[in-house]
Amino acid sequence: MEALKRSFGEIRKYPSAVIGVIMILVLIGLAIYTVATIPYSEAIRLWRGGEDIWYSTPRNAFPVWTNWFTDVKQPETIVMFSEDNPDVTKEYTTTSSGKTDIKMSYTFDYTADDFPQELSLFFKTEYVAKEPFASITWETPDGRTIRVGDLAVSRKQTYRISQDEALVRRLGGEKPEVGLFADPESPDPENPQVLKGTYKINVSVLLFEDTGDASAEYVVFGEVFGWAGTDHRRRDLMLPLMWGAPIALLFGLLASAGISVLTMIISAIGGWYGGVVDGIIQRITEVNLTLPFLSILIMIGTFYSRSIWTILGATIVLSIFGAAIKTYRAIFLQIRESTYIEAARAYGASDMRIIFRYLIPRIIPLLIPGLVLGVPAFVFLEASLAVLGLGDPVLPTWGKIINDAWVNAALYNGYYYWILEPAVLLMITGLAFAMLGYSLDRIFNPRLRGL
Amino acid sequence: MAEILEKKLKDQDFSDTGALLQVKRLHVWFELRRFGFGHAGYVRAVDDVSFELKAGQAIAVVGESGCGKTSLMKTILGLNTPIKGDIIFDGMKLSELDRKGMMEYRSKIGFVQQDPYGALPPFMSIRSILDEPLIINGVKDPKERNERIRQVMEEVRLSPVDDFIEKFPHMLSGGQQQRVVIARAMILEPKLIVADEPVSMLDASVRVEILKLLENLQKSHNLAVIYITHDLSTVRYFSERIFVMYAGKVAEKAVVDEILNNPLHPYTEALLTATSEPDAANARIYKEVPPGEPPSLVNPPTGCNYHPRCPKIIEGLCDLEDPPEFEPVPNHLTLCWLHKDA
Ligand SMILES: Nc1ncnc2c1ncn2[C@@H]1O[C@H](COP(=O)(O)OP(=O)(O)OP(=O)(O)O)[C@@H](O)[C@H]1O
Ligand SMILES: [Mg+2]
């Protein structure tokens, strides 16, 4: 164990190993941070909750950082709720006839170079019998006032300004998200420019009963959203990008460690007992090596279960009788003849003790680099299965993002961020473990000459 | 009642009382297999060997390479299974021991191997190495184990103990490593130490120290010792008797001085001429003695197995008939037809 410690100490001499360790630590930090801040149940709710959760995010929005690389700055999403927002004023006036008029004014700056994706108002009202009536007007920075629309609002009402045909007509055939923000003095009326400045949308809700209330959330759906962007279902990609880390690391580590350790124990047992036991293990290995691993996993995923635990279990079971058994066995056959093993038998060590205390510790230096290098292989395996549509149906993972992107022709539509982000994270993971693993190999392998 | 009867039967087994170890007509033959299966004969590593050893008695087994010394020792340690014959040690009959009995049997015999570095697991500290036999043999209390480890290290003069206890085998010199091996053999307080060429891999300068250490331990613990060597010059240190082994058989048994001054077997004579006493005259007369090759252990020659090399062969007798054990001088036994009239 001392020798192991010394070998790990040597990592410092290998810059690539140091970088690898730092990257792994960052990934682990990200994983821990994610699990701590977004608990599993919350993650699943955000990932699979439905429109109620995603209604206020834009569809297929690029990440905000894409604005850094273009001259035409795309709009960010603006969400304003009528309650507790300093930029929204809300006034109640009671008319003589016992009706209540609620006036809500949303003031916001619009400075992007391009028009937003959509405009919507999400009403919530309380009333007994008669639906309140809302009228909406729009004030532009240059002082024009535009009537947006009037409608009766039920308890929960979505008003998609962008889809109001009457408004389109009033704006002279222009889409509302363009017409409302367009500069009337654009040099080319066919290609209107954005009028930058402070806008105001006034929502007045008339309640016909003496009790009741109304609130409204105003959303300008931008073309960019958050640091990760969103997908075709308006979901913030930050969630699967973050949650993909713990899942990928856990899957990779469990698979790699499970396989390495079990393979080592199996080959130690075979190497020690020899004879029939060894023969059976060797035959199983030979048969197993000819089995098409990926095809079996695909079959299990297709016909049985796509749960990550099933896939993990199947991966481990199908891999423990791997080629490493032959390598380890050769070494064990050599070690079992060592005189220190003979000495151990002479003072009464049992077979199990010899396997675990005397045989296996010799192989650990060989095992560790292999284990580290195995991690990204299994991370990629999980991602590949997800890309093939065999990922866990519940979990937000990197592979699932790529799968969604693929199914929705992300590259064809130009949503490169959708594939780029998970791919970069996968590459970082692979690189980190590879850099550490190969350095460990170099550190440990000279030791093996002492076998 | 049944117990007493059983004990009586047991007592009968080792009729010559007082012996710690009895080896009775021991045959250790290794089966040769053709292509991994199919019988192809036996390697007769140990062929009809009998002897007794009293508590506190030390014997040396000498013989050239391949004559079966190690096979004999490993069989006594329970690492090889004899095909015939039996070993009775401290009232335990090796062939009849169950798992627990085997543990007890093994705990009473210490094993010192030839190559100290190979005999020590390289990944364990000296403390763990010495801890292992104690843990395996059920010494649960860590304090007690620690005390016993320190005590035995003092005894083999690995002191100050703290300088060595956390070290790893590769950090020690060959002599120190062999002391660790001896400490490990001693830690269970055995009654018998089997030392298989304990100094042949060591520097000449430390050989004497190690042999003296073994001698001291033997005296202070009243240990029986079986000391295996191919070097007659080292037997004087502590052995009383010498067994000369040749091709699986014990050709001659006698006390040290008898063997050295009055060898009866022609093979012993030849061996003595070959001995390398550390003196210049001897170095010059050293030649490849005894001349010739040791016989095949798979197809041993008929009659006395030394006869093809023997300068004193009696034609028509030595090459046809197995010599029985003769005792021409009291307590000096030999397997040689030359002494048939004694
Ligand atoms: N496990 C085994 N299987 C088959 N043959 C064996 C085995 N162990 C030893 N032998 C054979 O038995 C014979 C005696 O070997 P052994 O090791 O006992 O000799 P030795 O006297 O200790 O020799 P050395 O002085 O070289 O150590 C040799 O011919 C050896 O090849
Ligand atoms: Mg030997």
* Residues of A (361-390) whose Cβ lies below 8 Å from B: 361-362
For A186-211, b/e burial (b = at least 16 CB within 10 A) is: eeeeeebebbeeebbbbbbbbbbeee
Phi, psi of B304 (to 5 degrees): -70, 130
Phi, psi of A409 (to 5 degrees): 50, 50
B70 versus B2: which is more confidently predicted? Answer: B70
Q: What is the pLDDT of residue B13?
A: 46
CA distance A343 to A347: 6
Give the CATH class of A74-221. mainly beta
Kindly give the interhelix angle for A308-320 and A238-273, rounded to the nearest 10 degrees: 30
Q: What is the pLDDT of residue A188?
A: 84
Atom of ligand 1 nearest to the CA of B230: 25
Q: Is B113 in the pocket of ligand 1 (CB under 6 A)?
A: no
Banded model confidence at residue B291, pLDDT cuts 50, 70, 90: low
Q: Which residues pair with A276 in a beta bridge?
A: none
**Mean pLDDT of all residues in B271-288:** 55
Closest C-alpha among A295, A438, A72, A346 to residue B75? A346
CA distance B109 to B105: 7
User: Residue B288: pLDDT above 50?
Assistant: no
Task: Show residues of chain A in contact with B133, CB under 8 Å.
Answer: 347-348
| Residues B123, A1: C-beta atoms closer than 8 Å | yes
Say if A340 is an interface residue toward chain B (CB within 8 Å).
yes
What is the side-by-side strand order in the sheet with A118-126? A78-81, A213-221, A118-126, A156-160
User: Residue B10: pLDDT above 50?
Assistant: no
Q: Which residues pair with B300 in a beta bridge?
A: none
Closest C-alpha among A267, A373, A271 to residue A323? A267
Residues A126 and A213: beta-carbon distance below 8 Å = yes
Residue holding tokens 């049985």? Answer: A304
CA distance A218 to A116: 13
Average pLDDT, chain B: 85
Residues B29 and B42: beta-carbon distance below 8 Å = yes
User: Residue B9: pLDDT above 70?
Assistant: no
Task: Show residues of chain A in contact with B137, CB under 8 Å.
Answer: 347-348
Q: What is the pLDDT of residue B342?
A: 66
Helix (H, G, I), strand (E, B) or coil at B16: coil
**Mean pLDDT of all residues in B157-185:** 93
Radius of gyration of chain A (CA): 31
CA distance A406 to A145: 44
Three-class SS of A188-246: CCCCCCECCEEEEEEEEEEECCCCCEEEEEEEEECCECCCCCECCCCCECHHHHHHHHH
Kindly report the length of chain A. Answer: 451
Q: Is B69 in the pocket of ligand 1 (CB under 6 A)?
A: yes
Task: Show residues of chain B in contact with A345, CB under 8 Å.
Answer: 79
Banded model confidence at residue B11, pLDDT cuts 50, 70, 90: very low
Which range among A203-207, B115-119, B233-237, B331-335 shows the weakest confidence by mean pLDDT? B233-237
CA distance B321 to B323: 6
Q: Which of these CATH numbers, 1.10.8, 1.10.3720, 3.40.50, 1.20.140, describes A2-47+237-448?
A: 1.10.3720
Model confidence pLDDT, tens digit, residues A182-238:
988 888 878 899 999 999 999 999 998 878 889 999 999 999 998 999 999 899 999
Say if A357 is an interface residue toward chain B (CB within 8 Å).
yes
The contacts of residue B141 (CB under 8 Å, 6+ apart) are none
Residue extents of the structural domains in chain A: 2-47+237-448, 74-221
| Residues A357, B79: C-beta atoms closer than 8 Å | no
Is residue A86 reached through a cis peptide bond, with omega within 30 degrees of 0 on the bond before it?
A: no
Say how many C-beta atoms besides its own lie within 10 A of residue A383's C-beta.
27
Q: What is the pLDDT of residue B285?
A: 44
Nearest to B119 among A343, A345, A357 (CB): A343
Q: In this structure, which ligand is nearest to the CA of B46?
A: 1
Q: What is the pLDDT of residue B303?
A: 87
Residues A422 and A241: beta-carbon distance below 8 Å = yes
Helix (H, G, I), strand (E, B) or coil at A390: coil
> Which DSSP state fits A145?
E
Burial of A39 (0-12, 13-18, 19+ CB in 10 A): exposed
Q: Is B43 in the pocket of ligand 1 (CB under 6 A)?
A: yes
Query: Which of B42, B69, B199 maximizes ligand 1 atoms within 8 Å of its Cβ, making it the mutation to test the pocket?
Result: B69
Q: What is the pLDDT of residue A184?
A: 87
Query: Which of B27, B71, B246 maximizes ligand 1 atoms within 8 Å of its Cβ, making it the mutation to test the pocket?
Result: B71
User: Residue B157: pLDDT above 70?
Assistant: yes
Model confidence pLDDT, tens digit, residues A386-418:
998 898 888 999 999 999 999 998 889 899 999
CA distance A235 to A244: 15
Q: Which residues pair with B86 in a beta bridge?
A: B24
Q: What is the pLDDT of residue B289?
A: 56
Taking the CA of residue A1 and the nearest CA in chain B, the distance in Å comes to 7
Closest C-alpha among B152, B218, B217, B157 to residue B183? B152
Give alpha helix (H) positions in chain B: 2-13, 69-76, 99-107, 116-119, 126-136, 142-155, 161-164, 174-186, 204-221, 256-261, 266-274, 280-285
Token digits for A166? 């009457």
CA distance B69 to B61: 7
| Residues B168, A349: C-beta atoms closer than 8 Å | no
User: Residue B318: pLDDT above 90?
Assistant: no
Q: What is the pLDDT of residue B290?
A: 62
Q: What is the pLDDT of residue A446?
A: 63
Banded model confidence at residue B192, pLDDT cuts 50, 70, 90: very high
Token digits for B163? 């300088």
Is residue B290 reached through a cis peptide bond, with omega within 30 degrees of 0 on the bond before it?
A: yes
The contacts of residue A314 (CB under 8 Å, 6+ apart) are A296, A297, A300
Residues B243 and B236: beta-carbon distance below 8 Å = no
Residue holding tokens 């056959």? Answer: A333
Segments in chain A below pLDDT 70: 1-3, 446-451
